[in-house]
Structure 1
Amino acid sequence: MNVNKLILMALTLGLVVTSCSSDDDSSTPVVPLGDYENGILISHEGNFGQGNASVSYVSFDLQTVENNIFSLVNSAPIGDTAQSIAFNDNLAYIVLNVSNSIEIVNRYTFESVATINTGLNNPRFIAFANGKGYVTNWGDGSVATDDYLAIIDVASNTLDAQTIAVEEGPEEIVSNGTALYVAHQGGFSQNNIVSVVDASTNAVTSTITVGDVPNSLQLDDSGMLWVLSGGSPAFTGSETGGKLSKINTADNSITSIDFAMTEHPNLLVLDNGMLYYYLAGSVFKMDDDATVLPTTAELSGLSFYGMTVRNATLYGADAVDFASDGELEIYDLGSNSLVDSVTLDIIPSGIYFN
């Protein structure tokens, strides 16, 4: 082999090695967003009036469980009665019902970003639209005329001076980006409507009559709003059964399926075209195009205070006796079998995928 060929081979090999090295060097490592990404956040109400609300983190593989993460990160208690959590970009908004406040944290590190502790009165849930956060407030739960939506400017995480007056007992709220839908359970009483709010004008444009005491809302990809109503309980003296309603948000037309008078379902969840709900210690499943209710439960013998489903896996929060540590139970809905359970803090309720 002559010298020229040897030189050419050496140069070629050098180019190949340099090319491979450059490719390796240019790869960008994945930087973790924080200790609490890729897992599940669980809000805990804690004991009423005792200021021991908390949030737990459970990794998706269930190998890591950390309770009371707000206090661990911020060296301070979070407040009284964590009612719900909602995400907006990298922030988590934790609504504290009895504290009349909202703690805003980085959802991945749980470092405190801001606290809103004025302008709220019995806050419950929050949804986002048009650069604003909308918080349902009961006001005095025994007064029918002081209920409202508080409005948060998410750029500054401060409350707007404006509020939106609504009918009694606003509870869960969802958004499709342009409109907000508010379920009115009725505060300490009973109500039977869903309010529709235009996010561009902050005005209530209509109210839709559903079943008594609507407790759950789900929006599907086709623009249908699913509303599960529990019905008026027996202690009211005028018991009514639950109702599952489907509202076409294009024209607010509605179709419904009735439960029996003594059946009071809650915890409606939508996953991959299937609806799940909780009734009397059991979980039922039905297609979203079904016209009758299922007669056979998927799971029974349960005691859930909160529930969600993701990719045919059910996550249920068991508050046990409402004084001891609660449990997160995980079920495979393919086999309807318990996968695992983990111990949490006191009164777990909301389950959120982070």
Structure 2
Amino acid sequence: MKIKNNLVLALSLLVLSFSCSSDDDNHQQEPQGAYEDGMLITNEGNFGQGNGSVTYVSDDFSYTEQKVFFNVNGTLLGDTAQSIGFYDDLAYIVVNNSQKIEVVNRYTFQSVATIDSGLSNPRYITFLSGKGYVTNWGDGSNPEDDFVAVINLETNTVSSTIPVEEGPERIVTNGTSIYVAHQGGYGQNNIISVIKPNSDEVETITVGDVPNSMVFDNQGSLYVLSGGIPAWTENETGGQLDVINTSSNTVSATFGFDDNEHPSNLTYGESLYYTLNGGVYKLAVGSEELPTTPEIEVVNFNYMAIHNNVLYGVDAGDYTSNGTLQSFDLETNALKHSKEVGIIPSGIYFND
């Protein structure tokens, strides 16, 4: 009897080890079944190859599951998994080059709907007043066809569109208005669009060149980080951090970077953090000048976020094979965990 029990235990451990390991594109990994209490990582995949994916990593980094959408639903997610937005128990996965949004239960990843009409190069999504708002580049060569698609969340269809200026990218809401950063699509832009949800009226705020990330602080101010125009354009400008008073929708403060400095990945967790030249910098709210010394060095993040005083970043590596997710304790700035994720990871979403 003891030998039999040991044999059953050994076989069980063997099955468990296979179910928790990575797999290739042609085989389904055993579904976890519940994806709460962890992070969902969007992996763009190689452009044009249809291998975008979502990776699940548990809060303690003890469990990782690659290609969650495929594992649960038996079909590939699509080409260029751009971003995720949460609304109630649903996750809206924006799949850029497949021109669609996959709607799934955020905890089981069972498919609920596919929105595959009324979109054109969709990028990012937010939610306000029972509607979804999705930025769309349209035809990248046409600066006149960019828009924000309005999603009817009861039918999961595009109900209307709001024309906006070129290159709408990141989109956030403070519960009253919607703010859209216009990075410029295939060009460069330097505005924030403000959309009023009841009227869909749009006003614009001028910020630095090529705004790439936005966050609200706990007082309701909106911080917009702009990377500046890159050197290859032969019209290089430095980055800029603008503080927007959301009551008046005016810029209340501006921080300028040097002409050859191009910051990105602004995030907030009691203080502001951003990346620049391979380092993570910390800027206390209310500071009057930018920091000169990084808190964390030698990183190459595509995206960065803070949750429960831990900083998380994804590194795409060589952009052809799997990237990594790293976490850092903000009390010590020490590396806590590192985990392999998918190809070209570019977003981190906390599925609490």
Q: Could you tell me how far 1:345 is from its partner in structure 2?
A: 1.2
Aligned AA (1:110) = F
Q: Could you tell me how far 1:320 is from its partner in structure 2?
A: 0.5
Aligned AA (1:96) = V
Aligned AA (1:130) = S
Structure 2: runs of 5+ lacking an equivalent: 1-31
**Aligned mates of 1:83, 1:177 — CA distance in 2:** 23
Q: Could you tell me how far 1:291 is from its partner in structure 2?
A: 1.2
Aligned to 1:247, the other structure's residue is in SS state: strand
**Aligned mates of 1:132, 1:219 — CA distance in 2:** 21
The equivalent of 1:23 in structure 2 is none
Match runs of 1:4-43 below 5 Å: 35-43=34-42
Q: Does residue 52 of the first structure (1) align with residue 55 of the second (2)?
A: no
Superposition TM-score, scaled by structure 1 size: 0.89
**Aligned mates of 2:298, 2:174 — CA distance in 1:** 35
**Aligned mates of 2:33, 2:274 — CA distance in 1:** 33
Identity %: 56
Of the three residues 231, 246, 252, the one matched with 2:249 is 252
Q: Does residue 101 of the first structure (1) align with residue 100 of the second (2)?
A: yes
- Runs of 4+ displaced beyond 6 Å: none
List per-residue Cα deviations over 1:133-175 (Å, max 9, x = no partner).
Answer: 0000000112110000111011221110x21000000000001
Aligned to 1:146, the other structure's residue is in SS state: coil
Match runs of 1:1-354 below 5 Å: 35-160=34-159, 162-204=160-202, 206-254=203-251, 255-272=253-270, 274-354=271-351
Q: Could you tell me how far 1:312 is from its partner in structure 2?
A: 2.3
CA RMSD between the two structures: 1.1
Q: Which structure is larger by alpha-carbon Rg, 1 or 2?
A: 1
Aligned to 1:98, the other structure's residue is in SS state: helix
Q: How many residues align?
A: 319
Aligned AA (1:153) = N
The equivalent of 2:26 in structure 1 is none
Q: Could you tell me how far 1:335 is from its partner in structure 2?
A: 1.2
Aligned AA (1:317) = V
**Aligned mates of 1:221, 1:164 — CA distance in 2:** 29
Aligned to 1:320, the other structure's residue is in SS state: coil
Aligned to 2:98, the other structure's residue is in SS state: coil
Structure 1: runs of 5+ lacking an equivalent: 1-32
Aligned AA (1:88) = Y
Aligned to 2:150, the other structure's residue is in SS state: strand
Q: Could you tell me how far 1:34 is from its partner in structure 2?
A: 5.5
Q: Could you tell me how far 1:220 is from its partner in structure 2?
A: 2.3
**Aligned mates of 2:283, 2:309 — CA distance in 1:** 13
Superposition TM-score, scaled by structure 2 size: 0.89
Q: Could you tell me how far 1:222 is from its partner in structure 2?
A: 1.8
Aligned to 2:82, the other structure's residue is in SS state: strand
